Amino acid sequence: MVAEAERLRPVIEQHAQIVCTDLTGTEDLSNIEADLAIVLGGDGSILRAAGQMGHRQVPVAAVNLGKLGFLANMSPDELPEILRDFAAGKLRIIEHLMFECTILHDGKVCSRQLGLNEVVVHAGTPFALVNIDLYVDSDLVTSYSCDGLMIGTPVGSTAHCLSAGGPILRKDLQAFVILPLSPHTLTMRPVVDSADRVYEMVVAGPNPETTVVVDGRVFRRLQPGDRVRVERSKARFKLVTNPGHTYYRTLREKLGWGGQLKLNDV
């Protein structure tokens, strides 16, 4: 990635003034004054950049250097044209749902984290099932006996959610997916509900290593009585569109939906 960044730097400088460069993914980008963030890598790099920007999200031009890249929607060769069109105001910027994950204990906030993909409560070692109560707007939905419970966004629906058997949601939908991981009862199915609701997960008897994971990173180990609250954030992830890559074209190419139905002659 570093070599590609060095190769593309002169190209970028033909169209923009570079105010900050971060090749380690460790800089605090929340106070950077910029019109555009160019992220090189895959969807993991984009998740990290979104976290670094915090509640001051800058439009992202995502250049795919990874393998799959649902969010990274342009190639390095397409970047010059994208920069020209962005400067001319020709490109749409689509805003995507982000969430706040809050851990509460005895009604007090212990930790808070901004996220883009998903929150997962993992049962953890000794790898025994846990019972996770789900509340929506303070109304008890059910108690899941499972390996874990995921609440994900439309952007996250093509990440961990997809590999766990969840549905694919169009990226601009305002909704959350509730997905039990390996539930003991097979009638426990994924549910899609409005992003305007408040979701809470409670594990009365967590395992020693029952953990909350946000966007693939360990957030906090759960203690008895903790409540994991997930709700819409005021922050919005902003992605610069690539006119050459439509939603269904991306799904078709990334998921290998390119097969053709062959009909026998009658």
180 φ, ψ (degrees, to nearest 5) = -75, 140
Q: Can 43 be counted among the known catalytic residues?
A: yes
Contacts of 26 (CB under 8 A, 6+ apart): none
**How many H-runs (helices) and E-runs (strands) does the chain carry?**
5, 14
CA distance 10 to 177: 42
CA distance 240 to 238: 7
Evaluate the CA torsion angle 81, 86, 92, 95 in order and state its sign. positive
CB 95 within 8 Å of CB 238: yes
Candidate list 22, 28, 35, 43, residue with the active-site label: 43
**Amino acid identity of 2?**
V
Nearest-5° Cα angle at 221, 98 to 141: 60
| Residue linked to tokens 């966007």 | 215
Q: How far is CA 56 from CA 34, 133, 234, in A?
A: 10, 33, 10
Could you list the active site residues? 43
